[in-house]
A and B are shown apart, each in its own frame.
Chain A
């Protein structure tokens, strides 16, 4: 089991609920990315960590979205007061390199969030 894992795989939330999505990157990978992928579109960047440092959060669509990686391994993406437009697949990816610049990103299976 050396790949990126995400949980839950599927999440249904009622509008207004808070959700937390978990990502376990490949062991030893320094960089970690979160993406949001709507149906029929490519992944949209949300945020990027290098170890525990969140270096770029410019893609987070609103202040309802919050991500953390407190010990530089597992990361959690939290969405507060979910809205229907938050429905998407949330992908996590990790990369071996911690240097500036990106190397190959290995993706997890994603969490499909449906907000009713």
Chain B
């Protein structure tokens, strides 16, 4: 059975801190790994990773995939209160199915 595990479950930091969120997975026929940000609504797309070792970057957010060790990290630098959300990791297979982790709840305090 496909499995995605995220850690930590929750995290509380202060504005300006840097955070690292982890996602490990076990799936058959891996295709891609996606990161989403979910506030009090539907998830919004952040990154899609398909190749090992290539960092994707968008502003203060960056992510990288390790297909040998089967994990990905999402980094957020200089955190802001607006970064407070649940961050979801999902792994998709060649058959088109996506498996999500339970998310990391990030709280950024002023």
Cβ-neighbour of B31 out of A58, A101, A107, A108 (below 8 A): A101
Cβ-neighbour of A42 out of B41, B88, B96 (below 8 A): B88
Contact B42 A109 (CB under 8 A): yes
User: Contacts A40-B102, A41-B102, A42-B88 given: A100-B96 contact, CB under 8 Å?
Assistant: yes
When C-beta atoms are compared, the residue in chain A nearest to B105 turns out to be A40
Is B44 at the interface (CB under 8 A from chain A)?
yes
The tally of residues in A whose CB lies under 8 Å from a CB in B reads 28
User: Contacts A41-B102, A42-B88, A42-B103 given: A104-B45 contact, CB under 8 Å?
Assistant: yes
The tally of residues in B whose CB lies under 8 Å from a CB in A reads 26
Contact A105 B34 (CB under 8 A): yes
Cβ-neighbour of A48 out of B6, B31, B41, B96 (below 8 A): B96
Contact B94 A101 (CB under 8 A): yes
Contact pattern, A 45-81, Cβ under 8 Å of B = 1, otherwise 0: 1001010000110110000000000000000000000
Residues of B within 8 A of A48 (CB): 96-97
Contact A102 B98 (CB under 8 A): yes
Question: What is B's interface to A at a CB cutoff of 8 Å?
Answer: 4, 6, 31-32, 34, 36, 41-45, 48, 88, 90, 92-103
Question: What is A's interface to B at a CB cutoff of 8 Å?
Answer: 4, 31, 33, 35, 40-45, 48, 50, 55-56, 58-59, 91, 100-110
